[in-house]
Amino acid sequence: MPLIMTEEDFAQAAREKAKEKNVPFVLAVYMVLEECLRECLSTSGIQLACRQGCSACCYQMVTCTPLEFEVILRYVNSLTEDLKQRIIMGTNKVVGDWRRYHAKNPRFFVGTAEGVMKVHRDWNQRPCPFLSKEDGSCRIYPVRPIDCRTFTSLETCQRPILRAERFRFDPEKWVNNLILGESVRKTGVFAVTPLHHWISMVWPQGRKKPAESVHQ
Ligand code: SF4
What kind and span of H or E run contains 193? strand 193-194
Q: What is the pLDDT of residue 3?
A: 64
Q: How many CB atoms lie within 10 A of CB 131?
A: 20
Q: Which mutation among 57, 58, 63, 161 tests ligand 1's pocket best, with the greatest number of atoms within 8 A of CB?
A: 58
Residue-wise pLDDT for 50-89, tens only, equals 988 889 899 989 999 999 999 999 999 999 999 999 999 8
For ligand 1, say whether the CB of 148 is within 6 Å of any of its atoms: yes
Residue-wise pLDDT for 88-146, tens only, equals 988 988 889 999 998 988 877 666 788 888 888 899 889 999 999 888 899 999 999 99
* pTM listed for this prediction: 0.90
Q: Rounded CA gap, 179 and 10, in Å?
A: 12
Angle CA 42–48–54, to nearest 5? 135
Q: How confident is the model at residue 163 (pLDDT cuts 50, 70, 90)?
A: low
Distances (CA, A) of 1 to 9, 15, 35, 138: 11, 12, 8, 28
What kind and span of H or E run contains 64? strand 63-64
Q: Does 170 have pLDDT greater than 70?
A: yes
How much is the average pLDDT of 194-216?
77
Q: Rounded CA gap, 76 and 213, in Å?
A: 11
Peptide bond into 160 cis (omega under 30): yes
Q: Does 204 have pLDDT greater than 90?
A: no
Point out the ligand 1 atom lying closest to the alpha carbon of residue 141.
2
Q: What is the pLDDT of residue 208?
A: 64
Question: Could you tell me what percent of the chain has a pLDDT over 70?
Answer: 92
